[in-house]
Amino acid sequence: AQSVTQLGSHVSVSEGALVLLRCNYSSSVPPYLFWYVQYPNQGLQLLLKYTTGATLVKGINGFEAEFKKSETSFHLTKPSAHMSDAAEYFCAVSPGNTGKLIFGQGTTLQVKP
Amino acid sequence: GAGVSQSPSNKVTEKGKDVELRCDPISGHTALYWYRQSLGQGLEFLIYFQGNSAPDKSGLPSDRFSAERTGGSVSTLTIQRTQQEDSAVYLCASSPRTSGMGGELFFGEGSRLTVL
């Protein structure tokens, strides 16, 4: 069965610092991978996704993620954090066929001034 | 509507009562998903609809939970004889395509259920 593990339930960075949110997946077949963001009292919004092709994926709000098959990882990064980036971030894998997503436990990003 | 709409946004009920949660997907989206988000459990998949049929109900936690979809559009998630552990935010999502194509899911803002 496919699964996702997010390392670190809480990450705190200073404004302007690098953001790195870690995600490792378990999959027996080439996966589709996603990062979603959830702002307080809102639904989830797609940041970026990897399906096929280029392994470095660029998303909205300056975020990007790199698919590394050898490390079974799909870490999310942003060079410079903004206060508005404070939210909960979810990594997800799609087992295929139904389009349903299996989510990680989520990482809460705190950005300090 | 522009996005996925869920109602009610907040529901407080007493233990043992039945509740119904409604989801209006984006027009034309054939796939619809229900998830449950609770502290310590993350986002749990409940059920998936393709049109009006539910080929994947594997996430429903007990027979107290059921869902239906009519007209390929609106879906209702029903929880019978609610328990305190049912307290959570119930999220609905829709998608225009499936078949493992890695399509984006569009989420509503959720229905927060509190069982006293």
Rounded to 10 degrees, the C-alpha dihedral B74/B75/B80/B85 comes to -120
Which is nearest to B44 in space by CA: B89, B13, B3?
B89
- Averaged pLDDT, B53-77: 94
Residue B87, burial from CB neighbour count under 10 angstroms (0-12, 13-18, 19+):
middle
* pLDDT tens column, B35-48: 999 987 789 999 99
Size of interface A-B (CB pairs under 8 A): 68
Whether the Cβ atoms of residue B35 and residue B90 lie closer than 8 Å to each other: yes
State the Cα–Cα distance between residues A43 and B35, nearest whole angstrom: 11
For chain A, 113 residues long, give each residue's pLDDT as a single digit of tens: 788 999 999 999 999 999 999 999 987 777 889 999 999 888 899 999 998 788 899 999 999 999 998 899 999 999 999 999 999 999 999 876 677 889 999 999 999 99
B100 pLDDT above the threshold of 70: no
CB contact under 8 Å between B97 and A45, yes or no, is no
CB contact under 8 Å between A90 and B43, yes or no, is yes
Q: Output the pLDDT for position B1.
A: 54
Min Cα separation B64/chain A (Å)? 22
